[in-house]
A = this chain, B = another copy of it.
């Protein structure tokens, strides 16, 4: 069996997220496994670096899979590019060492949350950002972001109520940059819980709107109580940006 590392991008708008779910076939993983199984004439299972929610996009997602095939990486990549739907792009394919696993080997990931913070229209990237024209206090958001960075139990920022495994994650950095009317929140860490980036974003936006204060962050983290954190920002503004090994 050869082991492959596949780099992808996708527009998540019409998918129910990355991960296959029983009997639907409308997830990115379903599309990939279906196509790879047909192309390679064997059942293929892919492991993603992590799940993305319904409607979330990926500038770079990485997955791995094992298969027996005489095809070269170039041939298989060309076939993937030919048959994948136009909203899923195969960026690169390479053979990986036998122990490589897209999720278990992953060292660090970055997500970017795009906010169109203006009353100016945003037509051409409207499906890839959250349109929020209200004035935001960026200084207060940066203060809150600094308090959220580091190693914490992020249960308060997780939508999964019955998490059995540890909710401790190391959020290496949260940076906020503005390019004209667009605000980008970039979250880099060793792993992310279900809805974590969207709840962090919603909470930071509430700070930016002066609906809550930056100094509340440590108490929210310590509470481990989802109801203490802010709301869940819309999926369409979130993009899995980078995956590092």
Which residues of A are interface residues toward B (Cβ below 8 A)? 9-11, 57, 78, 81, 84, 86-91, 119-126, 128
B128 touches A86 (CB 8 A): no
Q: How many copies does the complex hold?
A: 2
Which single member of B9, B57, B126 contacts A121 (CB below 8 Å)?
B9
Which single member of B11, B81, B121, B122 contacts A124 (CB below 8 Å)?
B11
Q: How far does the alpha carbon of A87 sit from the alpha carbon of B127 in the complex, in Å?
A: 10
A123 touches B78 (CB 8 A): no
B78 touches A121 (CB 8 A): no
B119 touches A78 (CB 8 A): yes
A81 touches B123 (CB 8 A): no
Quote the shortest CB–CB distance from A89 to chain B (angstroms): 3
Which single member of B81, B121, B124, B128 contacts A119 (CB below 8 Å)?
B81
Which single member of B57, B88, B123 contacts A86 (CB below 8 Å)?
B123
A10 surroundings in chain B (CB, below 8 A): 123
Q: How far does the alpha carbon of A86 sit from the alpha carbon of B81 in the complex, in Å?
A: 31
A84 surroundings in chain B (CB, below 8 A): 121
B124 touches A91 (CB 8 A): no
Q: A11-B124, A87-B123, A91-B120 are in contact. List 12 more A-B contacts (CB 8 A).
A: A10-B123, A11-B126, A57-B124, A78-B119, A81-B119, A86-B123, A87-B126, A88-B121, A89-B120, A90-B121, A91-B121, A124-B125
A78-B119, A121-B91 known; A86+B126 contact, CB < 8 A: yes
A125 surroundings in chain B (CB, below 8 A): 124
Quote the shortest CB–CB distance from A131 to chain B (angstroms): 8
Quote the shortest CB–CB distance from A206 to chain B (angstroms): 24
The 8 closest A-B CB pairs, nearest first, are A89-B121, A89-B123, A9-B123, A11-B123, A86-B126, A87-B123, A11-B124, A81-B119
Q: Which residue of B lies closest to A86 (CB)?
A: B126
| Interface pairs (25), CB distance under 8 Å | A9-B121, A9-B123, A9-B124, A10-B123, A11-B123, A11-B124, A11-B126, A57-B124, A78-B119, A81-B119, A81-B121, A86-B123, A86-B126, A87-B123, A87-B126, A88-B121, A88-B123, A89-B120, A89-B121, A89-B122, A89-B123, A91-B120, A91-B121, A124-B125, A124-B128
